[in-house]
Amino acid sequence: MRLTFLIAALLATVSPAWAQEPPPAPPAAPAGATPPPLEVDVTGGISAPMPIAIPPMPTTQVVQTPAGSTDQLGRQLSEIVANDLRNSGLFTPVSPAQLRAIAFPEVTAPTFDYWGGTGAQALVQGYIRANGDGTLTVGCYLYDVSARTELTRQGFVVPPSDWRRAAHKCADMVYTRLTGEGPYFDSRVVYVSETGPKANRIKRLAIMDQDGANHRFLTAGSSIVLTPRFAPNQQSIVYMSYVGKNPAIYVYDIGSGRQRLVVQNVATTFAPRFSPDGRWILFSMAQAGNTDIYRVAATGGTPQRLTTSPGIDTGGSYSPDGSKIVFESDRSGGQQLYVMNADGSNQQRISFGSGRYATPVWSPRGDLIAFTKIAGPFRIGIMSPSGAGEKLLTNAWQDEGPTWSPNGRVLMFFRQGQGNAGKADLWSVDLTGVNERRVPTPLDGSDPAWGPLRP
């Protein structure tokens, strides 16, 4: 109980977005308990991530599976859970040296005295079992060490090929129970893998788990590919390709590897995004030097024009309920952010700060819009959909193209290095501006798009 409250308080103090709404109600504190004081500190970030112990998960019986032996998998599962929680910036896993092997019966009967001695406030135990039908069962249990109580438990049955997902789901269970935030670890990222000299970069679509595992290239690199986005059902990806020297948007089917042109080529089409219900694709079309935003049925058909300004209108992103679109336009001179209704009506400028604003992305929670701020360097920032409360989160030479985690709490983006040798890498940052991390990729990376939580 106390654990949950502590983390919820921490989140509330560092999250400006929550200033508008009450933080999720913490479980009622026992009578007489004194809650820690709330202190508003948006610059200092999270002072003390919660210590948490995640010992290797024992197996009921060592069995060889296509993913490896179950005792080995048990160790790796606990490492993946620890890695997810550490990367969130809200937890400090107890060092492996302080972990001890636990026997299977101990999973549901923890030795709280031992774990208390490691400094851990929370404890995650679990087990792995190979089932007769070839699937794996992973059990995941969360304990409050000082209260000596179980907080929650879940079991996951997965095919061996999805064994890592069981760990991510376990980490999501722990994260949501202790923070009150939505889950995000069991999710994937599609992005553009980059290699080669700066004048002739080879770009390939690639897909991976949010932690960089299960990496796979989707295109061969013979044509430039840019700006992929997941369909809401995650079965396809919309992106831009220069194949045939005819830059246009395509839908790539992940299962079959087939792709199709979305709009028969009238002119250059780019900046594609799915609507939240998957029925529409928003895109930009450049014609005779003028760029406007259109939408077309995801299955194809005649595009419908949504903007008509004589400037460059591009980079649209739907609100989570699909009723509005945030986009960028240079109709006032430089790039600024605007919000319009999904049918193109009622276009209102929302950004008024110094510099330019680009690549707006609506948070899946609906409460914030992330963007690239251009004032010499590129920085990642957030503001409310009304344009209030602008806050810049990063400060490097060129940080571009934010994408939200499924729970709207973390942003991934790409960071371009300077000069001849400058390369692009994927990074993530908490929406409070702390916990900046590089996302591991086999080659360089740009244009990340974070997919929704996996079904």
Residues 6-45 within binding reach of another protein (CB under 8 A): none
Out of 105, 289, 310, 455, the only residue in the binding site for another protein (CB under 8 A) is 289
Out of 78, 87, 335, 363, the only residue in the binding site for another protein (CB under 8 A) is 335
Query: Per rule CB under 8 A, is residue 312 in the interface with another protein?
Result: yes
Out of 32, 199, 302, 310, the only residue in the binding site for another protein (CB under 8 A) is 199
Residues 166-185 within binding reach of another protein (CB under 8 A): none
Whether 227 and 220 have beta carbons less than 8 Å apart is answered as no
Count interface residues toward another protein (CB under 8 A). 42
Residues 415-454 within binding reach of another protein (CB under 8 A): 416, 418-420, 422, 446-447
Where are the extended beta strands (E) located within 312-408? 313-318, 324-329, 336-341, 348-349, 356-362, 369-374, 378-383, 391-392, 398-404
Where are the extended beta strands (E) located within 6-53? 50-53
* H or E element at residue 111: none
For residue 160 the two structure tokens come to 């061996």
Provide CB contacts within 8 A for 182, sequence distance 6+: 176, 365, 406, 407, 408, 409, 453
Q: What mask, x for binding another protein by CB under 8 A, covers residues 361 to 390?
A: -----------x-x---x------------
Query: Per rule CB under 8 A, is residue 55 in the interface with another protein?
Result: no
Query: Per rule CB under 8 A, is residue 349 in the interface with another protein?
Result: no
Closest CA to 414 of 21, 422, 18: 422
For residue 188 the two structure tokens come to 């994937």
Out of 90, 102, 271, 429, the only residue in the binding site for another protein (CB under 8 A) is 271
- In whole angstroms, the minimum distance from the beta carbon of 372 to another protein comes to 5
- Whole-angstrom distance, CA of residue 369 vs CA of residue 302: 29
Out of 25, 48, 105, 245, the only residue in the binding site for another protein (CB under 8 A) is 245
Q: Which is nearer to another protein, 31 or 199 (CB)?
A: 199
Query: Per rule CB under 8 A, is residue 359 in the interface with another protein?
Result: yes
Q: Sign of dihedral through CA atoms 87, 88, 89, 95?
A: negative
- In whole angstroms, the minimum distance from the beta carbon of 360 to another protein comes to 11
Query: Per rule CB under 8 A, is residue 393 in the interface with another protein?
Result: no
Query: Per rule CB under 8 A, is residue 294 in the interface with another protein?
Result: no
Query: Per rule CB under 8 A, is residue 306 in the interface with another protein?
Result: no
Q: Which is nearer to another protein, 84 or 328 (CB)?
A: 328
* H or E element at residue 58: none
- Whole-angstrom distance, CA of residue 168 vs CA of residue 388: 35
For residue 220 the two structure tokens come to 């061969």
Out of 133, 288, 302, 455, the only residue in the binding site for another protein (CB under 8 A) is 288
Query: Per rule CB under 8 A, is residue 200 in the interface with another protein?
Result: yes
Burial 314-325 (b: 16+ CB within 10 A, else e): bbbbbbeeeebb
- Whole-angstrom distance, CA of residue 223 vs CA of residue 205: 10
- Whole-angstrom distance, CA of residue 430 vs CA of residue 408: 9
Query: Per rule CB under 8 A, is residue 315 in the interface with another protein?
Result: yes
**What secondary structure letter does DSSP report for 376?**
S
**What secondary structure letter does DSSP report for 77?**
H
Out of 100, 148, 198, 438, the only residue in the binding site for another protein (CB under 8 A) is 198
User: Looking up tokens 């948490």, which residue turns up?
Assistant: 52
Q: Which residues bind another protein (CB under 8 A)?
A: 197-201, 224, 226-227, 245, 247, 268, 270-271, 284, 286, 288-291, 312, 314-315, 328, 330, 334-335, 358-359, 372, 374, 378, 397-398, 400-401, 416, 418-420, 422, 446-447
